[in-house]
Structure 1
Amino acid sequence: MGMPGATGPPMSLEGVDHALRRRVEERDRIAGDLLDLDAHPGNRLLSGMTPTGETGRRWEQAQASLVTLWWLFDAYRRVLDLAAEARAASRPDLGLLTALLTGASVELKPDDVPVEKRSLLRAAGEWVTLDTVLARMDRTYREIAETAGAVDAAWTALLPDLDRADAARRAAGELRESLGAADTELDRLDAEARRLRAQVATDPLGSAGLAGEIAALARAAEARRAALEQAARVREEYADRAARLAGRIEAVAEAEREALRVRDLVLAKIDSPALPEMPGQAPALRDRLAALGTAGGRWLELVERLTSLERGVEEALAHAQRVTESMTGLIGRRDELRGRLSAYQAKAVRLGHAEDIALADLYGTARDLLWSAPCDLRRATVAVAEYQRAITRIGAAG
């Protein structure tokens, strides 16, 4: 079957040249776009593997569409080659050229349809215009590009965290080797990373739901690297830190001895004081420090035990100091009452009541309580308050 003729009057030679030039430029642009599509990162990555799942299904469709796209482009190009040949004749056939450039000049034969696009119920051959072929190519191109772009976007979203996890795991593995220690947690992270990477690599489009798991893996790998880095630091610093700990434990022991000394002083000077429980952590802390030496180079374990002991030593020291301050405050309270009593006695003298018998009795009661050992702070506080109120009334009366 021959090519259908043009449906309108022939174009002028100038019109033919213009249309042919536009179509050739169009052909070259399309060829460049098709090459760019082949070079797209998503297409290149998929071409080098066997995708599975949703990605495999979309890629199979895209490959079939790509074959169709090149087939359509080849049919388009053949018509332009015929038009260029006709235009080069010594006496160009303007009717033929018009038919080629504007009419249904592209034959899409059933036998030329790619196998994956065929049906056993063969359709008859089809003649379409260059514009129709261009529209079909554009539609097919967009479908393929959408798949390639979706795959590339999926990889772009998921691979950075996987790469971050891999970098952290490699660094952690090197640290583990240098420490000569087994690490079951790092082994678990390695297995998890292999599983997730295999799934993302073969089915990025079906792996969008793994983003949370992958981010968690990256965080866990970085945390494990940090733990191993800390273990390596502990190995280098262990002797110095252990020596410092021994010194701090002696500081705890001294603070606890000071608390006992202050307790005995308070018991001697204050009647029935409410005392806190006495601290006594130094012996247990010494035992914990000695036990660190039995870890046998298990540096990951030592990190936790050493850090915990350092924290415990500082807490014990702070507790002993707080207890001492609390008990010292009882004596300070007595001394503060003594000072207040002396100040109000001086005020009574200034007010001209130095010989006031009632005031002298109140002063004597308070003084006896405050300068007795042990001192009854509760009664002394009440006595000083009564003496203070009495002088305040005198002052107010003028």
Structure 2
Amino acid sequence: MSREGVDHALRTLRAERDRISASLLDLDGHEGSRLLEGARLTGETWRRWDDAKTRMTSLWALFDAYQRVLEAAQELRDRNPRPDAATLVELSGMLSGLSVELPDGEIPLQDRTLLGPHERRVTLEEAVALMSEAYTFVAGEIAAADAAWTALLLPLEEAEESWRRTARLAHSLDGTRHPELDRVGRELTALGRLIRTDPLSLVRNGAPDTTRLDRVRTILTSLGDELAGVARMRDDYDELVARVTASIEEIEATERRAHEAHRTALSKIESPNLPAPSHGLGAGLRDRLAALERLREAGRWVEMAGRFAELERATDEALERARGDLRLSAGLLDRRGELRGRLEAYRAKAARLGVVEDERLTELYGEARDVLWTAPCDLRRATTVLAEFQRALRACESETGTRR
């Protein structure tokens, strides 16, 4: 190698050394590296970081050996401004020959003996290749752990804060522990320990697996919404009780109307086949409401919320049942009124057609009126007679040639 070649190689290698040094310092100072160094690691993450630290130690040792050769070459060149042939040969050997002695950690097992590893030397270029390989491995492990923590730690902290907030709310409602919240808390604690000490155990196919954490967060959201609903019920309790009380009063009023309509139908309609209306729906609901009041006095809001929701559903069902009973009985009376109205409408039509004096129509009208205005009313017979009256009216209309 000529003097110019030596000087060019030294400049190139010094620049390369500076870049390598900067990269190693950046790697040491990387946030992921600091997190790994400061964490109490376990499991998969501990094993991989232990391997990475071993490689990093060897990497620095190799860099130190690499740098010593480069510094020795630079010193030799500085001492010989006009190097002779022997000096150039020595410099060439240092810069391009097997001048870098590998640290023990960089010597493969097959090159070792019972008495220790055989000395092995590589060129500066080969040393850079070995350092690059080690750097890529260490950087990859740091990046993997950092990516896992980045994806998992923030959601974990949000879940932990959500649990604390929900636990405070639960305690404010009844002052007791919430079994499901306690169970989720235990699972969250175990998951938090795993994420903080062994994040790489949660990596699947190169990406952090957030399935467990997502499930916990979903449960916490559901519990939080449920307890928030309990809190709203507590705050609006008087209004809610007033609303349920009004519904119970409506049920009782509807029950009374249904019983009255039932009695009327039994007296006014022949063979109505009506089931007896429900009885005591409102009274039963009032008893349940009174029981809830005792829970309120004891401050057992969480338990009461479920009971209150059941009471609201029962109230809605009872009101619909009472209304159904009323419709059944009132429906028969309404049917009688409908038939009466249709009879008078047909008679008015007969008058317009000028056939109101028709013997058959007069006979059928009288029969229908007797049935519909006699108690108890035979609705089946009334319906049949009215249909006959309608057919007779159509026949008369056809005979006169008039249609409406």
- Normalised by the size of structure 1, how large is the TM-score? 0.85
Identify which of 352, 376, 387 aligns with 1:350: 352
- Asked whether the 8 Å contact 1:155–1:204 carries over to 2, the reply is yes
> What does 1:106-117 align with in structure 2 at a 5 Å threshold?
106-108=100-102, 110=104
Aligned to 2:335: 333
SS of residue matched to 1:293: helix
Q: What letter corresponds to residue 190 of structure 2 in structure 1?
A: R
Q: What letter corresponds to residue 269 of structure 1 in structure 2?
A: K
Relative to structure 1, is the Cα distance of residues 177 and 352 closer, same or farther in structure 2, using a 3 angstrom cutoff? closer
Relative to structure 1, is the Cα distance of residues 378 and 30 closer, same or farther in structure 2, using a 3 angstrom cutoff? farther
SS of residue matched to 2:374: coil
Aligned-pair distance for 1:119? 7.0
Identify which of 300, 303, 307 aligns with 1:301: 303
Aligned-pair distance for 1:59? 1.7
- Asked whether the 8 Å contact 2:360–2:392 carries over to 1, the reply is no
Aligned-pair distance for 1:260? 1.7
CA distance in 2, matches of 1:326, 1:24: 102
Aligned to 1:71: 61
Aligned to 1:282: 282
Relative to structure 1, is the Cα distance of residues 276 and 201 closer, same or farther in structure 2, using a 3 angstrom cutoff? farther
CA distance in 1, matches of 2:263, 2:386: 26
> What does 1:152-301 align with in structure 2 at a 5 Å threshold?
152-179=146-173, 180-208=175-203, 211-279=210-278, 280-295=280-295, 296-301=298-303
Q: What letter corresponds to residue 91 of structure 1 in structure 2?
A: R
Aligned-pair distance for 1:109? 5.1
Relative to structure 1, is the Cα distance of residues 134 and 359 closer, same or farther in structure 2, using a 3 angstrom cutoff? same
SS of residue matched to 1:221: helix
CA distance in 2, matches of 1:309, 1:107: 85
CA distance in 1, matches of 2:396, 2:106: 123
Q: Does 1:142 align with 2:136?
A: yes
Post-superposition CA distance 1:226-250 (Å, at most 9, x none): 3333333333333343343333322
Identity of matched residues, %: 45
SS of residue matched to 1:181: coil
Aligned to 1:54: 44
- Asked whether the 8 Å contact 2:39–2:197 carries over to 1, the reply is yes
Aligned to 2:363: 361
Q: Over the residues paired in the alignment, what is the CA RMSD in angstroms?
A: 2.9
Aligned-pair distance for 1:373? 2.2
Post-superposition CA distance 1:26-77 (Å, at most 9, x none): 2222222222322334332221233222222212211111111111222222
CA distance in 1, matches of 2:294, 2:59: 73
Q: Does 1:28 align with 2:18?
A: yes
Q: What letter corresponds to residue 64 of structure 1 in structure 2?
A: T
- Asked whether the 8 Å contact 1:110–1:124 carries over to 2, the reply is no
Aligned to 1:6: none
Q: Does 1:84 align with 2:78?
A: no
Aligned to 1:380: 382
Aligned-pair distance for 1:283? 0.4
SS of residue matched to 1:294: helix
Q: What letter corresponds to residue 225 of structure 1 in structure 2?
A: G
CA distance in 2, matches of 1:22, 1:108: 22
- Asked whether the 8 Å contact 1:285–1:309 carries over to 2, the reply is yes
Aligned-pair distance for 1:394? 4.1
Aligned length: 387
> What does 1:121-136 align with in structure 2 at a 5 Å threshold?
122-136=116-130
CA distance in 1, matches of 2:220, 2:89: 73
SS of residue matched to 2:294: coil
CA distance in 1, matches of 2:13, 2:188: 52
SS of residue matched to 1:353: coil
- Asked whether the 8 Å contact 2:44–2:200 carries over to 1, the reply is yes
Aligned to 1:104: 98
CA distance in 1, matches of 2:328, 2:24: 84
> What does 1:4-15 align with in structure 2 at a 5 Å threshold?
10-11=1-2, 13=4, 15=5
Relative to structure 1, is the Cα distance of residues 326 and 37 closer, same or farther in structure 2, using a 3 angstrom cutoff? farther
- Asked whether the 8 Å contact 2:58–2:106 carries over to 1, the reply is no
CA distance in 2, matches of 1:97, 1:385: 126
Aligned-pair distance for 1:87? 4.2
SS of residue matched to 1:271: coil
Q: What letter corresponds to residue 30 of structure 1 in structure 2?
A: I
Relative to structure 1, is the Cα distance of residues 345 and 141 closer, same or farther in structure 2, using a 3 angstrom cutoff? same
- Asked whether the 8 Å contact 1:104–1:129 carries over to 2, the reply is yes
- Asked whether the 8 Å contact 2:33–2:142 carries over to 1, the reply is yes
- Asked whether the 8 Å contact 1:231–1:303 carries over to 2, the reply is yes
CA distance in 2, matches of 1:224, 1:190: 12
Structure 2: segments with no counterpart, 5+ residues: none
- Asked whether the 8 Å contact 2:58–2:105 carries over to 1, the reply is no
Aligned-pair distance for 1:161? 4.1
- Asked whether the 8 Å contact 1:110–1:123 carries over to 2, the reply is yes
